[in-house]
Structure 1
């Protein structure tokens, strides 16, 4: 240990922020677990104590959750979780209405909507937090994406989905696609926003290249829990390098 480090007192934590991963056992493809890891690291950089928890089918719901993150999955994964998700729907709706910050990607984006109808005609009911509908098609939307957003600047990621999602009047898009496809092959929008819920098709994972979204989730959680947010000094060097590299990639 450096002698200077030994004599430097540890900074007191500003408080604990609890991040709950929703169904990581069945809904965690294309690196979506990385979103939770980024939140864990950035919470610490901001001077708070991160606590990373999981909720899978049949688990007891974690108490005092502050941020909810959920990833994508195959149709089979959505079928596995659908009954349990429906039992948690009233709780999740209440938390969304109360303003809990949430990030849902791809498959859970779809199931936070009204329904997902697979390309074979099977309809998986959603929980209706988001005013969106998704229908599976034979067209695969795949490749690198750039999205212009009013809240987070340019958002970068990678899409890989055959479900085409349309937004209703109860939500607004996350942003407008500058490269790639987004929610569907017709309207030029990507993702959805409702209260403090951020929904997106972008994998890669999303947050390592888009720290502005991560900090929005953390700031919102801190303000709800502690009444204020005292930012730290995150190290964005590698995030910026990743953004530069991703922006240069072809579709």
Structure 2
């Protein structure tokens, strides 16, 4: 759905691997766009629609103004019973996953699509990497009528962005992840095309992160790590969101993630 004439912000579709990725990586941008009247939506590649994490995702999206969950229902690479009877996302054929994402792109008709970066985010999770690969393919296929014709009428978004982390922006977060045995795969600063200050909606972003209650209660997931930090430290980590342009063109006037076509 194109943005209304009352807002300069483009419609936005976020495609991520797990419930909570949307809140952690683009929760601020989703909240900003929704508050400005732009259409926003989220596709989540793993976990079954009847799982406890689906309910948490629904609560988080409600806080962010991003509609109802759109879940592909594949199993998490490390938690096979997250979607009983379904293949793990990392084992599913890439073209099959891309086709499902194309359906959502054509249904939502966003001007901007956002997904994981080529590393699979800081920790290199295989589900993040597979989601990046499938979304990149889907972005280019969605506008071509002879690809995935069963997925609806063609729609070509303006731009595809990867949510990412530059080397200069992971100091505190990198230390925290290293302490729990996780990788820290940041990109050179020059790979970042857009840096968005989301401090105006930190309350909503943090509430959305906490809505993923099962992750916030655990030690190693990022929601749990963040919940144990002093407020000022946590806010310094989540108040900025970073993006790399992967395809298409930035918004007019250089106002990336701000203006519609």
TM-score class normalised by the smaller sequence? 0.3 to 0.5
Higher helix share: 2
Higher strand share: 1
Higher relative contact order (CA 8 A, sep 6+): 2
Larger radius of gyration: 1
TM-score between both structures, scaled by the size of structure 2: 0.35
